[in-house]
Amino acid sequence: MLKDQQYLRIPGPTPIPPSVQRSMAQPMVGHRASETAELIRRIRPGLKKVFGTEQDVMIFAGSGTSGLEAAVVNTVREGDEVIVAVTGAFGRRFVKILDAYGVTVHEIETEWGHSVKPEEIREALKKNPESKAVFATFCETSTGVLNPVAELAQAVRDESDALFIVDGVSCIGGVESKMDQWGIDILVTGSQKAMMLPGGLMFAACSERAWKVIEANPRRGFYLDFTKYRDNLKKDSTPFTPATSLLYGLEQTIQLIEEEGFDQVIARHGLMKDMTRAAFKAHGIPLLASDEDASPTVTAVRPDDFEAAALRKVLKEDFNLIVAGGQEHLKDAIFRIGHMGYASPGDILQTLALIEIGILKSGKDIELGKGVAAAQQIYLGKGDPQ
């Protein structure tokens, strides 16, 4: 096995396109130089398209979690009430951040592997009418679930004046996003997943409704104060030192998305999801999320007659193929396959073929090629994705 030939199929960080790697290798320039301002100016329109917004998309040097914390500190205060849809580990992360700021949290907790329903949001708002905001994940990375954020946003609007704040870290850039049309008030994402970059950048956009709340908040923190980023962005700048090399990479990822066409990017992610799910269904291996709830960017598999950890060990040792385990109580119960960003149907067929060998070596007797064949049929448009 070639030790430096790794197949990274986790739900972030994801593989980096070679052209993006080359872009990031450019010589360093001054972060306040005209070259950096021009770079930011070129990037801004592409980010708006990916978010589905006419609002400016702010650029931070930070992880996706910095975006979650920024969404909290800019909008709510100690003692405020909020609602959080906890559909997995990253919905739970919102709760932990809010707890750290002394915010009163009303949780809607779903069984892991299930989405939150609009009716649950409506009921929670009726029970807790003083809630200032509703927080949810778009894609719950820990379970491979895509929450119906358009419907959730409508439920929030129907029942209250609360802000609707969404963690889009593990799907923005790989799924349809219509922030303005759907009524999302704050949407955040990171660079290291469907955006095809290393970790280190966070992006956030706010609705006009959200800006009114933010501006009325006297304590917005220092580094994460959205108003600083908004005001500096008008000058094609950032309030603090930007990750300039990553910005060059971001310009190239936006170029790649535009060359492929964003509609086709979305279709490719949906196809990879359907191929992956068809392969495991062909073997009768359970999937954690239903077809209705399944994310186009990550699939969680819950085997019932072989060990997920044993499979992951075989895949790493034999092929240097890396798939993710579960989190919290699902740590050893599931494995997760990332199929987002710089990934193609051909990559998925290779991954599935190696996983079939790994399953066989892990102790489950399966027919080699059966799952791959099912995925091939989906690719050819002959299989049933459901």
> Does residue 153 share a domain with residue 28?
yes
Give the pLDDT confidence of 23-59 residue by residue, as tens digits.
Answer: 999 999 999 999 999 999 999 999 999 999 999 999 9
Give the pLDDT confidence of 234-291 residue by residue, as tens digits.
Answer: 999 999 999 999 999 999 999 999 999 999 999 999 999 999 999 999 999 999 999 9
* pLDDT band with cut points at 50, 70 and 90 for residue 3: confident
> Does residue 281 share a domain with residue 207?
no
- Give me the pLDDT at residue 1, please: 64
> Does residue 304 share a domain with residue 231?
no
The answer to whether residues 80 and 107 touch, using CB atoms and an 8 Å cutoff, is no
Residue 386 lies in a domain: no
Residue 344 lies in a domain: yes
Query: How many domains does the structure of the chain reveal?
Result: 2
Alpha carbons 236 and 244: distance in angstroms, whole number: 13
> Does residue 316 share a domain with residue 246?
no
> Does residue 334 share a domain with residue 240?
no
Give the pLDDT confidence of 71-118 residue by residue, as tens digits.
Answer: 999 999 999 999 999 999 999 999 999 999 999 999 999 999 999 999
> Does residue 251 share a domain with residue 280?
no
Rounded to two decimals, what is the model's pTM?
0.97
> Does residue 276 share a domain with residue 148?
no
> Does residue 221 share a domain with residue 87?
yes
Residue 384 lies in a domain: no
> Does residue 342 share a domain with residue 279?
yes
> Does residue 190 share a domain with residue 173?
yes
CATH number at residue 80: 3.40.640.10
336 is an annotated ligand-binding site residue: yes
Q: Which residues of 211-223 are buried (b: 16+ CB within 10 A; e: fewer)?
A: bebbeebeebeee
Structural domain ending residue among the three candidates 205, 229, 258: 258
Residue 51 lies in a domain: yes
> Does residue 87 share a domain with residue 26?
yes
CATH number at residue 360: 3.90.1150.10
Range of the domain at 279: 7-14+261-379
Structural domain ending residue among the three candidates 218, 242, 258: 258
> Does residue 359 share a domain with residue 269?
yes
Structural domain ending residue among the three candidates 258, 289, 305: 258
pLDDT at position 383 over 80: no
Q: What is each CA distance from 140 to 86, 367, 381, in whole angstroms?
A: 9, 32, 28
